[in-house]
Amino acid sequence: MIHAENDIPDLSGRIALVTGATSGLGLEASRMLAGAGARVLMRGRSAEKGEAALSKIAGTQPPGTISFHCMDLASLDDVAASAAAIAGELDHLDILINNAGIMAPPKRLTTRDGFEAQFGTNHLAHFALTGHLLPLLRKSTAPRVISVASLAALFGKINFDDLQAERGYSDMGVYSQSKLANLLFINEFARRSADHGWNVTALATHPGLSRTSLFKKTPEEMGFADRLGRLFSPFFSQSAADGALPLVAAATDPDARPGDYYGPGHFWGLKGPPKKAGQPKAAGHLETARRLWEVSEQLTGLRYPDR
């Protein structure tokens, strides 16, 4: 088990792609992977933040290499174009960490494709990105896909009658739905990988309560989740680096098995070194996972292969 950065195995020759890599968990995960020798492809929306992130990691003089290119998960066209560019650059991909996300904006927002922003970005965009990159992943000797969920998934429910929250918006309700969707996606991916011979290991992780951009919002930008986070932060939160360790553990732990869920091991999963955690009961509903997969294929226009 990966308990600290020193436990990360040698990743020389491995190629990893991390979304949401310009700050917080994604930045720290990218730094750790490069520090273990991996070639890390960092993705985010802002070129300026990307350059700053590259400079920060380069300052640690990692043995691996890093690069950054913009990708906007709020646009399925941009996701497809970015994946095509990656396919033109690489002959395989070893690790895909679907980390980027939006958390509980007070007002309902939409992506360029008209999807509710949290469901569209946190789930649908990563569903599409993984599908586009699946051929590259299958060319690796031991590929892994990791989705970053949240403890909020415990309170999630997939509302198939109003997936886009058009008839009623709750910031944490919709966020929790998107995080449950991340777990359902990973579990269904693991089943289909086994059934169709994709040979890609799918895992999930959560960072507990980590001090990331959640704590940098102005009072006007803060929703319920932000206020709750700030209330409990001094006692139960951890740094972004500690919060990123479960992500890296899922990506590199030699004892990982398909469908494993990694999270902090102390204080009800809020902080502490990584360990394998139990998923919410709702994440194990096979019919819900299958239906969400089929709906996601319809909404994204992307069909995964049967073999």
What positions carry a catalytic annotation? Answer: 175
The vertex-199 CA angle with 152 and 66, nearest 5°, equals 70
CA distances from 88 to 51, 91, 133 (A): 22, 8, 11
278 CB-contact burial (10 Å; exposed 0-12 / middle 13-18 / buried 19+):
exposed
The 8-class DSSP code of residue 200 comes to -
Nearest residue to 227 via CA among 109, 119, 107, 106: 106
SS3 call for 38? coil
CA distances from 258 to 55, 188, 200, 252 (A): 35, 10, 9, 13
